[in-house]
A and B are shown apart, each in its own frame.
Chain A
Amino acid sequence: MHIVVCLKQVFSTPQVRINPETNAVIREGGEWIINPFDEHALETALALKDTVGAKVTVITAGSQQAEAVLREALARGADAAVLLSDAAFEGSDAWATAKILAAGIQKVGAVDLIVCGKQTMDGDTAQVGPAVAEFLGWPCVTYVRKLAVEGTTLKLERLFEDGFEKVEVVLPAVLTVGKEINTPRMASLKGRMAAKKAQIAPVNAAALGLAPESVGRAGSPTRIVKMATPPKKTGGIKIDGSDAAAAAKTVVEKLRELKLV
């Protein structure tokens, strides 16, 4: 089985702000990390490698510095890494990102399974996984929390708001996963040493057969026209809770006034 894991490099977010004058995104004081859910996608693939045997390829679309998340994945046990990088990819929305990733995965060759995180913490769109599936014409099962392989069939449990569903899908397929599915492993020292030496050559648009205007800003159906800092709540009243009964009475009265109870 050949599994591809889609990983995105994101900036740890508490520090992300908007410059009120330029509306540019300011990233400072944080660090670049693997998107948290993608760590679970990677672990899903590595666990299958351990149990049923698989080749695991990790792929990312990003700038040269996104190579760091690929090396981290190699250190944890991935077998191969693909960096899709080209100036023409800049400004891609989720739709165009999925198109680039789908082209990259096709270039990887015979793939049976693709695992994505359920959502990124910068774009937050939860769109790329299902869209990759659609570009490839594959089925997609989202929010998977448990999986078992039986031959070419995957037996899955996928979450719903009020429970879960048992689902079966025949490979090839795309899955998206959240943190419910597993606990990501750490890299071993040996893995880190090997990952350091790995050669990761960037793959550009031409190599993927993608016309520059079909991706990036030009190839994206959506555009961000404004970035703003959400109106800050100013906080309301503060009451002293040392007399619990009195405080509770005040709260309940207020809630009743607002017809919340």
Chain B
Amino acid sequence: MTDKTQFSGVWVFAEQREGVIASVTFEALAKGRELATKRGTHLAAVLLGQGIKEKAADLFAHGADKVYYVDSSALAGANSDALTAQLAALIAQYKPEIVLGGSTICGRSVFPRVAVRAQTGLAPDCTGLDLDASGVLQATRPAYVGNVLATVVCPEHRPQMATLRPKAFKKGTPTAGRIGELIEAPAAVGDVKTKVVEVVRDAGNQVSLTAADIIVSGGRGLGGTVHFSLLTELAKEFGGAVGASRAAVDSDWINVSHQVGQTGKTVSPKLYIACGISGAIQHAAGMGSSEFIVAINKDPGAPIFEIADIGVVGDLFTVVPALIAALKNR
């Protein structure tokens, strides 16, 4: 058991790809700021990379009082061996009370490992976070494919670690010119056994599904690959990404990387438009936490209408083109 009094401060792991800080980091900073104020402690961000010291300014602007920065070529990419060792080393040295990160592929690869090294618990993929009077983090997270909302605590070990589902928390408004303390720490990346040989960006998938603010998704109702171009067009009008149900993926109309749901991706965009998707529980599990849902389905009894904010009962082949037209003459 840990001597809890030695631990203080709320930390946010600043995830970056090629120097661009992931938006979930700003969402975590906004939540972290709130928790730090409630706890009467400071908020710090941990920035690991190479030649990106100036990015600390963005973290200060979003509420960090301190930024721990480590510069190393081993930290330039998203090598989880190196990130794990470095984050664990900083935690061992500075003893934060709470450590937050994104429930992204990077966060999901690094945080479980850090939790083992730091001998503490982790609440992954949270959609709600709060503190009780004694400083115990109350982390709520969907389990059983979204059928259950569980509240997880880690009462006896420190730090308390959690990853936040992207887009489930709101970003704050940055204060330009806000400054804080920059602490440069030496690299401690340990024994890096994984070598990243090449990074390939998926050109066909410009907007990544989990990062998209708007997603237009198609299901079996689309009837074929060719009709996905209709959705691509609609997504383009919105500046959004294209998603799909498993039925559409299993029919080989679209690549599996677009699948939303229990065995696909979990998304929480501001706007989710479901076209020709019935809204099976396994699909809803992946998109039910979207802020606003529009459904287009010709069956008035489709379960998707139970979770849609606006349901259009009609043929997607007439409604979608009409939507594109309406958006064009806005």
Which residue numbers of A lie inside 8 Å of B, CB to CB?
A: 13-14, 16-18, 25, 36-37, 93-95, 98, 121-131, 133-135, 138-143, 159-170, 173, 179-180, 220-230, 232-242, 244-245, 247-252, 254-256, 258, 260-261
A180 touches B281 (CB 8 A): no
Given A123-B143, A125-B124, A166-B198, is A229 in contact with B112 using a C-beta cutoff of 8 Å? no
B147 touches A16 (CB 8 A): yes
B309 touches A236 (CB 8 A): yes
A239 touches B143 (CB 8 A): no
The 8 A-B pairs with the shortest beta carbon distances in the complex, nearest first, are A241-B314, A221-B121, A222-B121, A248-B322, A134-B116, A236-B309, A226-B151, A244-B318
Q: Which of A135, A139, A159, A232 contacts B105 (CB 8 A)?
A: A159
16 cross-chain CB contacts under 8 A: A14-B145, A94-B112, A124-B125, A142-B108, A159-B105, A161-B105, A161-B209, A165-B199, A165-B200, A170-B193, A230-B148, A235-B306, A235-B311, A236-B310, A238-B310, A251-B326
B325 touches A229 (CB 8 A): no
Contacts of A247 in B (CB 8 A): 312, 314, 319, 322
Q: Which of B111, B155, B308, B326 has the most CB of A within 10 A?
A: B326
B211 is an interface residue with CB less than 8 A from chain A: yes
B323 touches A180 (CB 8 A): no
- Stretch with Cβ within 8 A of A (4 or more), from B178-186, B216-224, B255-263: B255-263
Interface residues on B, range: 35 or more
Smallest Cβ-Cβ distance to A11: which chain B residue: B144
Chain A binding surface SS class: mixed
| Interchain CA distance A163-B256 in the complex, whole Å | 13
Q: Which of A168, A245, A261 contacts B327 (CB 8 A)?
A: A261
A260 touches B292 (CB 8 A): yes
| Interchain CA distance A140-B214 in the complex, whole Å | 33
B148 touches A141 (CB 8 A): no
Q: Which of A125, A164, A225 contacts B125 (CB 8 A)?
A: A125
A225 touches B153 (CB 8 A): yes
B313 touches A135 (CB 8 A): no
Report B157 CB to chain A, min CB distance, Å.
Answer: 4
Mask: chain B, 137-161; 1 = CB below 8 Å from A; 0 = not: 0100111111111111111110000
Report B315 CB to chain A, min CB distance, Å.
Answer: 7
Smallest Cβ-Cβ distance to A176: which chain B residue: B109
B197 is an interface residue with CB less than 8 A from chain A: yes
Contacts of A127 in B (CB 8 A): 108, 111-112, 115, 122, 124
| Interchain CA distance A129-B314 in the complex, whole Å | 45
Q: Which of A13, A224, A240, A256 contacts B152 (CB 8 A)?
A: A224
A130 touches B330 (CB 8 A): no
Smallest Cβ-Cβ distance to B311: which chain A residue: A238
B200 touches A163 (CB 8 A): yes
A230 touches B142 (CB 8 A): yes
Chain B binding surface SS class: mixed
A140 touches B326 (CB 8 A): no
Q: Which of A18, A37, A168, A260 contacts B271 (CB 8 A)?
A: A260
A254 touches B310 (CB 8 A): yes
| Interchain CA distance A217-B90 in the complex, whole Å | 29
| Interchain CA distance A125-B142 in the complex, whole Å | 10
A163 touches B202 (CB 8 A): yes
B263 touches A222 (CB 8 A): no
B115 touches A241 (CB 8 A): no
Contacts of A224 in B (CB 8 A): 150-152
A163 touches B198 (CB 8 A): no
B171 is an interface residue with CB less than 8 A from chain A: no
Smallest Cβ-Cβ distance to A126: which chain B residue: B108
| Interchain CA distance A167-B321 in the complex, whole Å | 43
Q: Which of A18, A134, A160, A220 contacts B121 (CB 8 A)?
A: A220
B143 touches A124 (CB 8 A): yes
Smallest Cβ-Cβ distance to A250: which chain B residue: B310
Q: What 7 additional pairs, Cβ within 8 angstroms, besides A245-B325, A247-B322?
A: A131-B112, A140-B80, A163-B205, A166-B197, A228-B149, A236-B308, A247-B319
| Interchain CA distance A227-B122 in the complex, whole Å | 17
Given A121-B262, A142-B80, A251-B310, is A16 in contact with B148 using a C-beta cutoff of 8 Å? yes
B296 is an interface residue with CB less than 8 A from chain A: yes
B197 touches A160 (CB 8 A): no
B53 is an interface residue with CB less than 8 A from chain A: no
| Interchain CA distance A133-B201 in the complex, whole Å | 27
Report B241 CB to chain A, min CB distance, Å.
Answer: 10
A251 touches B309 (CB 8 A): no
B196 touches A167 (CB 8 A): yes
B270 is an interface residue with CB less than 8 A from chain A: yes
B330 touches A252 (CB 8 A): yes
Contacts of A143 in B (CB 8 A): 105, 109
Given A222-B121, A233-B306, A260-B270, is A167 in contact with B194 using a C-beta cutoff of 8 Å? yes
B193 touches A139 (CB 8 A): yes
B78 is an interface residue with CB less than 8 A from chain A: yes
Smallest Cβ-Cβ distance to A226: which chain B residue: B151
Contacts of A225 in B (CB 8 A): 138, 151-153
B121 touches A166 (CB 8 A): no
| Interchain CA distance A159-B272 in the complex, whole Å | 23
A256 touches B193 (CB 8 A): no
